[in-house]
Amino acid sequence: MNKTVIGVLASGRGSNLQAIVDAIEAGRLNAKIGAVISDNPEANVLKRMTAADIPTLCIDRRQFVSRHEFEAAVAEELNIRHVELVVLAGFMRILTAYFIDRFAGKIMNIHPALLPAFPGENAQQQAVDYGAKVSGCTVHFVDEGMDTGPIILQEAVPVLEDDTAETLSDRILHAEHILYPRALALYCEGRLKVEGRRVRIIETE
């Protein structure tokens, strides 16, 4: 089967992207990274991927007068590289309807909580502050809402009595690194079927 070309948008550390790269190298994910784009020139993800010989690109939001122009530039780079699936991996910008329409049904995100609980920023702090006993992570398709798109996979993680946002984040991150490559592999194998809000996983024989 052909490899799916993925384009990754990331703003920071890049540990989820590293897990994706590792899954590709281990043969667990039949994909090829067409581009890694960061909106932040200082992002560690750029250094990390350049060291790993993965094509990286910085598109600095500050160079554009509007969100629309910024997103058009990102979309253009993804199209030039024939990207088939856009993967948000710690991308800290909200995408507008314009970008989401251009890649309709072809954008995935990972969020560090069990959606629909604790959407938006600082999800781990929200879980600690709320006194939740369980949190986790969610991989979902992106729609126009804030972390509201159809859910693909979720993994629960306990919230311990002494947890801070940092200790809970570490525990969730460990689960993220397993969950995201698994969700991507399902997509690349053509095993995800979206029916309204529900994402069905097609069994293999």
Binding residues vs ligand GAR (CB under 6 A): 10, 12-16, 89-90, 110-112, 123, 173, 176
Beta bridge partners of 175: none
Q: Could you give the dihedral angle defined by the CA atoms of residues 155, 128, 164 and 123, in that order, rounded to the nearest 10 degrees?
A: 60
Nearest to 91 by CA among 73, 78, 108, 105: 108
94 a known binding residue? yes
| Residue of this chain nearest to ligand GAR (CB atom) | 90
Q: From CA 65, how far away is CA 59, in angstroms rounded? A: 13
67 is in an annotated binding site: yes
DSSP 187: H
Please, which residue, 54 or 110, has the CB nearer to ligand GAR?
110
CA distance 129 to 31: 38
- Is 111 catalytic? The answer is yes
66 labelled ligand-binding:
no
Three-state secondary-structure class, residue 58: strand
Query: Is residue 110 annotated as involved in ligand binding?
Result: no
Nearer to ligand GAR, 127 or 202 (CB): 127
- Is 17 labeled as ligand-binding? no
Q: Name the residue nearer to ligand GAR (CB basis): 112 or 149.
A: 112
Least distance in Å: CB of 126 to ligand GAR?
11
Q: Which of 111, 140, 174, 177 is catalytic?
A: 111
Show the DSSP H helices in the chain as ranges. 15-25, 44-51, 67-80, 97-102, 123-130, 165-188
| Least distance CB 83 / ligand GAR (angstroms) | 19
Strands of 4-10's sheet, edge to edge?
A: 56-58, 31-38, 4-10, 85-88, 107-111, 134-141, 151-158, 198-201, 192-195
CB of 204 to ligand GAR, least distance (A): 28
Instruction: Name the residue nearer to ligand GAR (CB basis): 13 or 32.
Output: 13
The annotated binding site is made up of: 14-16, 67, 92-95, 109
Q: Catalogue the active-site residues.
A: 111
The annotated binding site for (6R)-10-formyltetrahydrofolate is made up of: 67, 92-95, 109
